[in-house]
Chain A
């Protein structure tokens, strides 16, 4: 909400043009006010992984564009993408994809009205996080064992 819409502010005293902050305004609870709990962590990770996947989409479209541009440009793309250092990008991206997928399923379930008791909601959030951790490790372990990743 913009400041102009915050209803009637305190009346300015005679002589002063506009009321100066700090106004006495109600505070909205935010990250630094809440006690940490797992549904909150799950929500934050959902948003962070969503933003990460936005970058991932750019990387994937760059891949297909490089492929369409021919072997020379594609070879250039691979010098970056197939570099062991690129794992710093690929591993978090895959983790983000696994997490956003699991966490998204959790949200779709919640949207039906199910699974919203504190106990179940906590369990679903913990499960999403563990699914992402285990799936990411499994994915890259298989990639490594298949010789697709050399360190």
Chain B
């Protein structure tokens, strides 16, 4: 399209649009739409769960509905916040090394959170936790 207007140098540097901005934008919006009801449910659950102690929390998470909704909430949140923090890093960190480092850290933290959360929730939901 606009390739004809680019100088040789700008083509070699490869800066400018990566041509997948619209896709990222839509992903962030779609995840946010699902997160509206899930966030309300999460806040409601936080209220219900506070003060119930270990047994109360275990009993709550043994319900398949709660386990599934919590997995959905955490996975969508992690997905959404990886996209969001990526933009923050890209806005404020301009040196290639620092930017790459923070983007990798962002990915690593989000992956870890997702895996640890799903593992823990399933462990409780399938009833193999220690002590009960």
Contacts and interface: CB of A to CB of B under 8 A. Distances in A.
Interface in A33-86: 47, 50-51, 53-54, 57-58, 60-61, 64-65, 67-72, 74-75, 78, 82
Contacts of B103: none
A68 B85 contact: no
A134 interface: no
A5 B113 contact: no
Given A2-B96, A53-B81, A61-B74, A74 B51 contact: no
Interface in B19-71: 29, 32-33, 35-36, 39-40, 42-43, 46-47, 50-51, 53-54, 57-58, 61, 70
B94 interface: yes
Interface in A98-151: 98, 101, 104-105, 107-108, 111, 139, 142-143, 147-149
Given A74-B57, A101-B40, A51 B88 contact: yes
A67 B57 contact: yes
Nearest to A60: B74
Contacts of A111: 29
Helix, strand, loop or mixed for chain B's interface? Answer: helix
A80 B20 CA distance: 43
Given A2-B96, A104-B36, A143-B50, A67 B13 contact: no
A71 B84 CA distance: 35
A54 B43 CA distance: 16
Given A53-B81, A70-B131, A147 B123 contact: no
A97 B43 contact: yes
A1 B15 contact: yes
11 contacts: A1-B15, A53-B81, A54-B81, A54-B85, A57-B74, A64-B124, A67-B58, A69-B130, A71-B130, A72-B131, A82-B51
Interface of B: 13, 15, 29, 32-33, 35-36, 39-40, 42-43, 46-47, 50-51, 53-54, 57-58, 61, 70, 74, 77-78, 81, 84-85, 88, 94-96, 109, 113, 116-117, 119-121, 123-124, 129-131
